[in-house]
């Protein structure tokens, strides 16, 4: 059984979708258009922008599932990327409609691992697959555990 529910308005005012599948895995998708500033002279998206799009996917995933990232910071918890990997399958171009689908694959007391599929939302073509590992820190950069309520919600969403 798969169901979709509308979450709060996402990036650029477009409501993201949250899809939950019976295998307990939760995927969250957000869509937006490639802006001219994100491209090179040939109107191809510059590679570092994909990492920014992963951040958009991750923060919207956390917002839709649990809380805005700003609320996490109010609780003196920040998430710092400690590992990132990307595989480029095809190029995005100016004005393409992009879909970033985010899942969470590992939740531990101090770390989270997110996986991403960045695709062309109109054609379904896979552009990039990526993964990031984040560590939970206080504002003064000391390791800390994730707040228990957040950790439980994310563990339930892990694939």
Residue numbers of the domain that contains 8: 2-157
**Per-residue pLDDT, 78:** 97
pLDDT of 11 strictly over 70:
no
Condensed to tens digits (0 to 9), the pLDDT of residues 109-149 reads: 999 999 999 999 999 999 999 999 999 999 999 999 999 99
Kindly tell me if the per-residue pLDDT of 69 is higher than 60: yes
pLDDT digits (tens, 9 = 90+) for 78-93: 999 999 999 999 999 9
pLDDT of residue 55: 97
Q: What is the secondary structure of the chain as a DSSP string?
A: -EEEEE-S--GGGPPPEEEEETTS-EEEEEEEEPPGGGB-TTSBBPTHHHHHHHHHHHHHHHHHHT--HHHHHHTT-EEEEEEEEEEE-S--BTT-EEEEEEEEEEE-SSEEEEEEEEEETTT--EEEEEEEEEEEE-TTS-B-PPPHHHHHHHHHH--
For residue 159, what pLDDT is reported? 58
pLDDT tier at 62 (50, 70, 90 boundaries)?
very high
Check 40, 95, 106, 140 and give the catalytic one.
40
Q: Is 50 exceeded by the pLDDT of residue 1?
A: no
Whether the per-residue pLDDT at 77 is higher than 80: the answer is yes
For the chain, what is the domain count? 1
Residue 22 has pLDDT above 60, yes or no: no
- As a whole number, the mean pLDDT across the chain is 87
CATH number at residue 127: 3.10.129.10
Active site residue 40: yes
Among 9-13, 22-26, 119-123, the range scoring the smallest mean pLDDT is 9-13
Of 77, 57, 52, give the one whose Cα is nearest residue 151. 77
* 21 pLDDT higher than 80: no
């Amino acid at each position: 059984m798969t169901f979709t529910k509308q979450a709060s308005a996402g990036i650029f005012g477009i409501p993201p979708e949250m899809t939950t599948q019976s295998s307990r895995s939760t995927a969250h998708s957000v869509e937006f258009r490639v802006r001219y500033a994100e491209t090179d002279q040939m109107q191809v998206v510059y590679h570092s922008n994909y990492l920014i799009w992963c951040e958009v996917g991750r923060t919207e995933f956390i917002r839709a599932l649990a809380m805005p990232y700003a609320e996490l910071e109010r609780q003196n918890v920040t998430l710092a990327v400690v590992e990132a990997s990307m595989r480029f399958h095809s190029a995005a171009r100016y004005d393409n409609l992009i879909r970033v689908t985010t899942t969470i694959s590992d939740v531990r007391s101090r770390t989270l691992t997110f996986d991403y599929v960045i695709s062309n939302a109109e054609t379904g073509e896979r552009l990039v697959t990526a993964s990031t590992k984040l560590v939970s820190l206080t504002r003064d950069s000391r390791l800390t555990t994730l707040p228990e309520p957040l950790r439980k919600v994310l563990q339930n969403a892990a694939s």
